[in-house]
């Protein structure tokens, strides 16, 4: 069973002629509503590959309309929402303005996500077959506790170190590495994590190798058009190429990789296959605007044909 503990957001997106500066107001003809939050994105991506009933989402939303919509969206995508708690805080929301050149400005109101608690999780979902997926959009201490519970139950922990906190410390990274089986990062996140523990690698591949050794884990780096790289603690390397595409919107591509990769690991397929499926799913997502809209279903993945 895949258990995703993380954030759930509703994104409000407005197209504007220019992003307003301090004290300025601009008018937009309308706005679009999208579902987001890295946790919810990864749960949807995993469910579309693993199938209905194979993914559980844990986190918090408010007792408001956005919370209703976020839960219903997960259910429509085959995600079990029994562990999504309704609280007094408002549902997380991102306010996004996009100008005519494609530049954007984003304000995220974390809301209920900052009240997410590992204590909300009963003992029932933890066991040897549990694959726990974590990110960095809920309180770190709570994610760490969920990871420790998974480790104690002999489950598998996949930690996507994104977004990298501005105040990330050596202690945080050391604690994270100690309870993680698969660390998923992009090139920049790999370098930031290595720097936090006092390592100054020459490139992201060296950073991945250093993190894998430090945590006795497998570090997976997603590198956009360059595909994905996995480095084991013993230095073994695997690579998967990215399909050649002309991207329309890369939003959510990283979350799509995480979800598809997790779905494959839960099925105990070879790591090389998990990398290939992750790369193909992420590439397909980039052909459609929006974070979740383009996340592919299992039947669309040629690597699984």
Among 16, 11, 8, which Cα is nearest to 32's?
A: 11
Distances (CA, A) of 173 to 81, 109, 136, 177, 235: 29, 25, 12, 6, 20
Give me the pLDDT at residue 119, please: 95
pTM metric for this prediction: 0.94
Annotated binding site for ATP: 186, 222-227, 254-255
pLDDT digits (tens, 9 = 90+) for 8-47: 999 998 889 998 989 999 999 999 899 999 999 999 999 9
How does the average pLDDT of the chain come out, rounded? 94
Give me the pLDDT at residue 105, please: 84
Quick one: tokens of 240?
């998967």
Quick one: tokens of 102?
């494609």
Question: What stretch of H or E contains 291?
Answer: none
Query: What are the catalytic residues?
Result: 255
Annotated binding site for substrate: 9-11, 37-41, 137, 255
Annotated binding site: 9-11, 37-41, 137, 186, 222-227, 249, 251, 254-255, 285, 288, 290
Give all domains of the chain, ordered by start, each with its CATH number.
2-9+38-91+112-160+241-295 (3.40.1190.20)
- pLDDT category at 100 given cuts 50, 70, 90 is confident
Give me the pLDDT at residue 291, please: 86
DSSP letters, 59-79, are: EEEESSHHHHHHHHHHHHTTE
- pLDDT category at 106 given cuts 50, 70, 90 is confident
């Amino acid at each position: 069973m895949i258990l995703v503990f993380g954030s759930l957001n509703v994104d409000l997106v407005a197209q504007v002629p220019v992003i307003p500066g301090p004290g300025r107001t601009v008018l937009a003809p309308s706005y679009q509503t999208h579902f987001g939050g890295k946790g919810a994105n990864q749960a949807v991506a995993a469910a579309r590959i693993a199938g209905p009933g194979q993914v559980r989402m844990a986190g918090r939303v408010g007792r408001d309309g956005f919370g209703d919509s976020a839960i219903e969206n997960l259910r429509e995508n085959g995600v079990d929402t029994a562990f999504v708690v309704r609280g007094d805080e408002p549902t997380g929301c991102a306010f996004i303005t996009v100008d005519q050149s494609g530049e954007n400005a984003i304000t995220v109101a974390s809301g209920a996500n900052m009240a997410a608690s590992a204590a909300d999780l009963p003992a029932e979902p933890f066991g040897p077959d549990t694959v726990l997926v974590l990110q960095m959009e809920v309180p770190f201490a709570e994610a760490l506790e969920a990871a420790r519970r998974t480790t104690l139950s002999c489950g598998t922990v996949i930690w996507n170190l994104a977004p990298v906190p501005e105040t990330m410390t050596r202690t945080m990274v050391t604690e994270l590495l100690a309870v993680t089986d698969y660390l998923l990062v992009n090139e920049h996140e790999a370098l930031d994590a290595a720097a936090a523990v006092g390592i100054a690698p020459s490139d992201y591949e060296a950073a991945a190798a250093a993190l894998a050794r430090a945590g006795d884990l497998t570090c997976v780096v997603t590198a956009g058009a360059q595909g994905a790289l996995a480095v084991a603690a013993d230095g073994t390397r695997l690579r998967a190429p990215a399909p050649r595409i002309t991207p329309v919107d890369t939003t959510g591509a990283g979350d799509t990789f995480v979800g598809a990769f997790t779905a494959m690991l839960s099925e105990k397929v070879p790591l090389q296959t998990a990398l290939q499926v992750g790369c193909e799913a992420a590439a397909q997502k980039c052909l459609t605007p929006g974070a979740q809209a383009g996340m592919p279903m299992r039947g669309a993945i040629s690597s699984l044909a």
